[in-house]
Amino acid sequence: MDKFTLKSNPLCLAPGMMRFCEQLAKCGQEDIARNVIAAWNEDPRVADAVLAGEYEVKGEMVIVECEERPADVFAELYARTKHKVKEYETDFDHDRDLIDRMGNDVPFIHIAREMGTHLIMFPPANHKDWPAKGETAPYLFATVDRYHMLGQVSTMVAYHKRHHPEELWTYYNGWRLMVTNPDEACRICSEYVKKISLEWANDS
C-alpha cells in the first residue's frame, strides 16, 4: 500500500475539510470535492479513498493508504485479455510499447477482440505527446492541433462502441485495471475530454 499524509494548514484543518469533501460528493458536487482534495495531493487515488471514507485521522493530520499501481501494467493487461485475441496478436506489442512510452500512471481504455486489440490512452493536458498551444503536429494523414487530436479520442471510443460492443473492454484508471462496458467507456471518455479542454482553455 502507498501511504499519504494530508496535513492541516493555517487556513483549514485537514480532517474537517476531508469530511466536508465527503458531504460535497454525496450532494452531487464530486468534481468540486476532488479539486479541494487535490490541493493537498493530486494523486487521484487519494481523492477516491477520501470520498469513500477510507482514511484515518491523527490529530490535525489525515492518513490515507492507497492501493499500489501494478508493477507491470501491460503484463497484467495481457494476462487478462490474451484469451480473447485469435488473430493479429502482434497488436499486443504495440499496446506494450505505447503503455511504456506514456507511463504506467496514464489511464486508458483497451478493447480486445478476436481480430486484434485497440488501445485508447488518456494522457494529461501537459503530456509531451500533445502539440503546444497554437502549434500543430503530424497525426495519421494530416497535420493537426491538439484539439483535433483530443476529438479523435471520443471518435475512437464511439466507433468501437458501435462496431465492437460485445468485445472485452478494460479500463485502467491509473492504478487499477477493471472490466468495463462501452457505455461506461463513453462516459469516462466524455469526462476526460471535458477536463482536458477546460485545462487547455485556462492555459495562459
Asked whether the beta carbons of 76 and 177 are under 8 A apart, the reply is: yes
- Residues 99, 101, 106, 107, CA torsion sign: negative
Where along the chain do its domains lie? 2-66, 73-201
d(CA 105, CA 181): 21
String of DSSP letters for 52-121: TT--EEETTEEEEEEPPPPS-HHHHHHHHHGGG--S-TTHHHHHHHHHHHH-TTS-EEEEEETTEEEEEE
Half-sphere exposure of 114 (CA within 13 A, CB side): 3
Secondary structure of 2-66 as H, E, C letters: EEEEEECCCCCCHHHHHHHHHHHHHCCCHHHHHHHHHCCCCCHHHHHHHHCCCCEEECCEEEEEE
Q: What pLDDT score does 204 carry?
A: 60
Per-residue pLDDT of the chain (204 residues; tens, 9 = 90+): 788 899 998 888 999 999 999 999 999 888 889 889 988 988 888 988 899 898 999 999 999 988 777 889 999 999 999 999 999 999 999 999 999 999 888 999 999 999 999 999 999 999 999 999 999 998 888 899 999 999 999 999 999 999 999 999 999 988 889 999 999 999 999 989 998 998 899 876
d(CA 106, CA 97): 13
Q: What pLDDT score does 184 carry?
A: 93
